[in-house]
Amino acid sequence: MSEKIKLSAAMKKQILENMFVKNYKRMWPYVKPVWFRALMTLILAIPVGSMDALIAWAIKPYTDAVMIEQTMQSSWYIPILIIAFTSVQGGLTYMLNYLNTWVGGKITNALKADLFKKLLTFETEFFTSKNSGEILINFNNNADMACSGLLSNLKSFVQKFFSSVSLIVVLFINSWQLALVTTAILICAFLPMAQLKKRLSSAMSGMMSVMATLTTKYTETHAGNRTIISYNLEQYQSNRYINTLHKHFSFQMKVFKKTRWLTPVMHIILSFGIALALWFGSHLILTHQLTAGGFVSFLTALILLYQPLKSIGNTYSSVIMSFWAIERCFTLLDMEPKIKDRANAKEMPGTHQQIKFNNVSFNYLKDVPVLKNINLTVNRGETIAIVGNSGGGKTTLVNLLPRFYDVNSGSITIDDVDIRDFTLKSLRQNISVVFQDNFLFEGTIRENIMLGNENATEEQLQRAIKLAYLDGFLKTLQNGIDTQIGERGVLLSGGQKQRVAIARAFLKNSPILVLDEATSALDNKSEAVVQKAIDNLMHDKTVFVIAHRLSTIRNATKIIVVNDGQIVESGTHDDLLKLECGAYKMLYDMQFKTDNKEAKPQE
Ligand SMILES: Nc1ncnc2c1ncn2[C@@H]1O[C@H](COP(=O)(O)OP(=O)(O)O)[C@@H](O)[C@H]1O
Ligand SMILES: [Mg+2]
């Protein structure tokens, strides 16, 4: 998310004025389905707020009856009324809070659901440019802040506002002169509110980004647990955490300073009001313009008025912060993924004859070319082995095929149709990718395999398990295929995880297969089994295989050598070995020859 461009003072003012309207307008689709209860919440906030005034108002006849007329006859009902009112107010407050929680929960869920759906539309680059904490804060926490501010703060705001207004009415009933003086001061007390939004944004953004880092420290500690233990990084990790905590603290204090000054400033202005009212009120009593009961009632109203006004500043700060969060949420919702379907994208058919890379160039970072003018033609059923130095661009090359990234220039076509003209869904349905480290979801082995095709029959499932060489392993498990495998499949070995992933790819049964060093993270023994599973999977498919194993390479239809982003050689194993001082021959001598000797007995 790009930081907001600097705005002129006039524009800032404009934004401040439009802020309420704009934010509430955007939130409307989320409020709409629950509008009736939302409205009820606000309507209920009016009597709940106003009822404070009734007590203040009732004090006048009571005090005058008891103190001045010295009788109880006319005022026996007052204490009973107070209890009755308080009970009603308590009941209404409960209903109000209930509705508020209900409506708030519904709105938050709807917003979060939309944010999560949005999150799933983003391309690989979006995720590689953000840490896990940022995702969590932006897509979850901000939504909480946005919605809690929207309704519950608005509710307290309305409640406090009406409480104040009705208490001011009581002031007027008792003495209009007094009321006028106090109201003037109250209005002054609200003036500083307009200053609040200034420069809050940068402090809030800073705080959120630090919160994201904090969250990331937890995910790191969870995922990197073994590395932390084996390198004795406990101290290192906790230092980094504590440093971030300190940063968080200072941002917290910054936000505090930028918002909470409002309350004491309002208090001080209000105290002028009270002082003035006391002084002026005493004068009115002494000059017999006000009864003692009237003055007590007036004072009560004034003190009660002080209460909501005291906290209205804080509530307003929260409202402003929630506006900030609302803006953040909608910035995300407005963001268009960079990789998406074109307007007239069509379905990719389930079969293909030829895949072509036409002069493809690609870079992740500006001016740092990673692939340069790649030309490659692959026919149906062929196996293309991609070899080359590490960091040369092999993974990047195959990642362009399912459009994890889009080419910068040139094109990739399938039967002469640019892959960008296919819908993402149909394109990706046609391609299975087996990575070096495949992601497994928390759940059972069965659930993870079925992700390949949720409609697969039991026979298809059993066949996939057999071809992926999982059957023997599953028999050793007490719960068999219904064994839980933990987050990311942590309860399985590397080779077992790969075979679950391969079984998943079997069920998906896509005509194009991409294998990116699918066995290179494994030890020799599990590699041999996984390799056999992969050999089964490759059957009848168009395969792009980034390989480090000679047997795979030798059987390939064509080998391409990708060094520093360019195809430097291509041909069959025998062709390429004939090239004296060729790149492939060098790689072969360095890497594959030894593999040849070791691997031979197993083949
Ligand atoms: N997400 C990324 N952002 C920036 N640079 C990247 C990214 N992924 C890979 N690279 C860089 O692109 C180059 C090619 O990487 P890669 O395709 O993974 O190579 P290979 O698979 O051949 O080892 C490397 O220099 C690598 O540092
Ligand atoms: Mg790679």
Say which ligand is closest to the CA of 374: 1
Ligand 1, atom 16: nearest CA belongs to which residue?
393
For the four alpha carbons of 176, 177, 178 and 181, in that order, the dihedral sign comes to positive
Say which ligand is closest to the CA of 516: 2
| Residue 480 backbone zone (phi > 0: left; psi -120 to 50: alpha; other: beta) | left
Say which ligand is closest to the CA of 390: 1
Q: Which two tokens stand for residue 24?
A: 């509430």
pLDDT(166) > 80 = yes
Q: Based on the domain organization, do 460 and 315 belong to the same domain? A: no
Using the 3D structure, point to which of 499, 521, 546 is the last residue of a domain: 546
Pick the more confident residue, 601 or 127: 127
pLDDT band at 600 (very low <50, low <70, confident <90, very high): very low
Percent of the chain topping pLDDT 90 = 39
Task: Assess whether the C-beta atom of 396 lies below 6 angstroms from ligand 1.
Answer: yes
Q: Does residue 602 form part of some domain?
A: no
pLDDT band at 19 (very low <50, low <70, confident <90, very high): low
pLDDT band at 593 (very low <50, low <70, confident <90, very high): low
DSSP for 153-181, please give it: IHHHHHHHHHHHHHHHHHHHHH-HHHHHH
Residue 594: predicted pLDDT: 63
Rounded average pLDDT over 141-148: 87
The CATH number of the domain where 515 resides is what? 3.40.50.300
pLDDT tens for each residue of 212-255: 899 999 989 988 898 999 889 999 999 999 999 999 999 999 88
pLDDT band at 302 (very low <50, low <70, confident <90, very high): confident
Task: Assess whether the C-beta atom of 365 lies below 6 angstroms from ligand 1.
Answer: yes
Output the CA 402–ligand 1 centroid distance in Å.
17
**From 395, 515, 517, mutation site for ligand 1 pocket: most ligand atoms within 8 A of C-beta:** 395
pLDDT band at 10 (very low <50, low <70, confident <90, very high): low
Q: Does residue 419 form part of some domain?
A: no
Q: Does residue 600 form part of some domain?
A: no
Q: Does residue 369 form part of some domain?
A: no
Asked if 599 contacts 550 with a C-beta cutoff of 8 angstroms, the reply is yes
Provide the domain count of the chain: 2
Q: Does residue 68 form part of some domain?
A: yes
pLDDT band at 549 (very low <50, low <70, confident <90, very high): confident
Asked if 181 contacts 276 with a C-beta cutoff of 8 angstroms, the reply is yes
Q: Based on the domain organization, do 33 and 156 belong to the same domain? A: yes
Q: Does residue 219 form part of some domain?
A: yes
- Apex 558 CA angle, 554 and 562, nearest 5: 100
Task: Assess whether the C-beta atom of 549 lies below 6 angstroms from ligand 1.
Answer: no
Q: Specify the range with the lowest mean pLDDT, choosing from 109-113, 221-225, 594-598.
A: 594-598
* Domain containing residue 488: 430-546
Q: Does residue 291 form part of some domain?
A: yes
For the four alpha carbons of 337, 208, 110 and 218, in that order, the dihedral sign comes to positive
pLDDT tens for each residue of 60-100: 777 777 777 766 665 677 778 778 888 888 899 899 889 98
Task: Assess whether the C-beta atom of 104 lies below 6 angstroms from ligand 1.
Answer: no
Could you give the 3-state DSSP secondary structure of residue 240?
helix
Using the 3D structure, point to which of 305, 334, 363 is the last residue of a domain: 334
pLDDT tens for each residue of 337-384: 999 999 999 999 988 999 999 999 999 998 899 999 999 999 999 999
Output the CA 391–ligand 2 centroid distance in Å.
7
Q: Based on the domain organization, do 245 and 106 belong to the same domain? A: yes
Residue among 478, 486, 481, 545 at smallest CA distance from 507: 481
The CATH number of the domain where 207 resides is what? 1.20.1560.10
Q: Does residue 67 form part of some domain?
A: yes
Ligand 1, atom 5: nearest CA belongs to which residue?
364
Q: Based on the domain organization, do 136 and 276 belong to the same domain? A: yes
pLDDT(47) > 90 = no
Task: Assess whether the C-beta atom of 520 lies below 6 angstroms from ligand 1.
Answer: no
* Segment 253-261 long-range contacts (CB within 8 Å, at least 24 positions apart): 254/203, 254/206, 254/207, 255/200, 255/203, 255/204, 255/207, 255/321, 258/196, 258/198, 258/199, 258/200, 258/203, 259/196, 259/200, 259/317, 259/320, 259/321, 260/313, 260/314, 260/317
Average pLDDT, the chain: 85
Q: What Cα–Cα distance (Å) separates residue 166 from each residue in 51, 184, 275?
A: 8, 16, 21
Asked if 387 contacts 587 with a C-beta cutoff of 8 angstroms, the reply is yes
Using the 3D structure, point to which of 500, 528, 546 is the last residue of a domain: 546
Q: Specify the range with the lowest mean pLDDT, choosing from 114-123, 303-312, 411-420, 534-543.
A: 303-312
Residue among 269, 142, 244 at smallest CA distance from 193: 269
